[in-house]
Copies of this chain bind each other. A is one copy, B any other.
Amino acid sequence: MARTRRNFSNRVTLSTVAERAGVSPMTVSNVLNEKPNVTPAKREAVMEAVRELGYQPNRAARALASASALRIGLLHRDTESSFLGQVLLGTLRAANRHGTEIAVRPFDPADEKSALKAAEGLIRSGIDGLIVPPPLCENPSIMELQARYHIPMIALAPGASLETIPSVRIDDEAAAYDLTRLLLARGHRRIGFIRFASSHLVSASREAGHRRALQEAGIPDDPALIWTGRPTYEDGLKAAEYFLSLAEPPSAIFGSSDDLAAAIVNYAHRQGMRIPEDLSVAGFDDAPIASQIWPQLTTVRQSISNIAEIATEYLLKSLSERSEMAPEAQLVDYEVIERQSVANLLEPAKV
Is A292 a contact partner of B85 (Cβ separation < 8 A)? no
Is B79 a contact partner of A233 (Cβ separation < 8 A)? no
Is B79 a contact partner of A292 (Cβ separation < 8 A)? no
Judge whether A30 is part of the interface by a CB distance below 8 angstroms: no
Is A61 a contact partner of B69 (Cβ separation < 8 A)? yes
23 pairs, CB–CB < 8 Å, chain A vs chain B = A8-B67, A56-B126, A58-B69, A59-B71, A60-B61, A60-B63, A60-B64, A60-B99, A60-B101, A64-B64, A79-B305, A81-B85, A81-B288, A82-B84, A82-B85, A85-B88, A88-B89, A233-B294, A263-B294, A266-B269, A266-B294, A272-B272, A288-B288
| Residues of the B chain whose Cβ atoms lie less than 8 Å from the Cβ of A38 | none
A189 CB to nearest chain B CB (Å)? 27
In the complex, besides A80-B82, A81-B82, 11 extra interface pairs with C-beta distance below 8 angstroms are A5-B67, A59-B69, A60-B64, A61-B69, A79-B85, A80-B288, A82-B84, A85-B88, A89-B104, A288-B289, A289-B289
Number of copies: 2
Instruction: Scan A37-68; emit 1 where CB is below 8 A from any B CB, else 0.
Output: 00000000000000000101011110110010
A72 CB to nearest chain B CB (Å)? 12
Q: Which of B88, B89, B233, B292 touches A233 (beta carbons < 8 Å)?
A: B292
Output the nearest chain B residue to A125 by Cβ-Cβ distance.
B56
In this complex, the member of A5, A63, A71 whose beta carbon has the largest number of chain B beta carbons within 10 angstroms is A63
| Residues of the B chain whose Cβ atoms lie less than 8 Å from the Cβ of A96 | 101-104
| Residues of the B chain whose Cβ atoms lie less than 8 Å from the Cβ of A262 | 292-293
Q: How far is the CA of A309 from the CA of B310 in the complex (A)?
A: 27
